[in-house]
Amino acid sequence: MSTETVLTTHKDVSFDPETYVSTYYSSVAGHEEEGDGLRFFLDGLSDAFKSGAITGIRLLDIGTGPMPHTAFCAAPWFEEITLSDFSQKNLEFLQKWKDGKINHMGPVCEYLVQIDPASSFEKRQDELKRKVKNIVKCDVTQSNPMVSAPVDGVVFDAITSSLCLEAASITLEDYAKSVRNLSGLLKCGGHLVLVGVLEETFYRVGDFRFKCTYITKDQLQDIYQKEGFEIISLKDLNETYSAHMEEYDYSDFKNAFVMVARKVER
Q: Would you state the pLDDT for residue 120?
A: 85
Q: Where are the beta strands (DSSP E) in the chain?
A: 6-8, 58-62, 80-85, 132-137, 156-162, 186-198, 202-205, 208-211, 229-236, 255-263
12-26, 27-41, 173-187 — which one is most confidently predicted on average? 173-187
> What value does the mean pLDDT take over residues 99-122?
85
Q: How far is CA 127 from CA 61, 73, 131, 251, in A?
A: 16, 11, 6, 33
**219, burial (CB in 10 Å: exposed 0-12, middle 13-18, buried 19+):** middle
pLDDT in tens, 40-99: 999 999 999 988 999 999 999 999 999 999 999 999 999 999 999 999 999 999 999 999
Q: Would you state the pLDDT for residue 34?
A: 58
> What value does the mean pLDDT take over residues 97-126?
87
To the question of pTM greater than 0.85 for the whole model, the response is: yes
Phi, psi of 25 (to 5 degrees): -130, 20
Residue type, 237: L
**254, burial (CB in 10 Å: exposed 0-12, middle 13-18, buried 19+):** middle
246, pLDDT greater than 50: yes
CATH numbers and ranges of domains, the chain = 6-263 (3.40.50.150)
Phi, psi of 262 (to 5 degrees): -125, 135
Residue type, 239: E
Q: Would you state the pLDDT for residue 1?
A: 38
248, pLDDT greater than 70: no
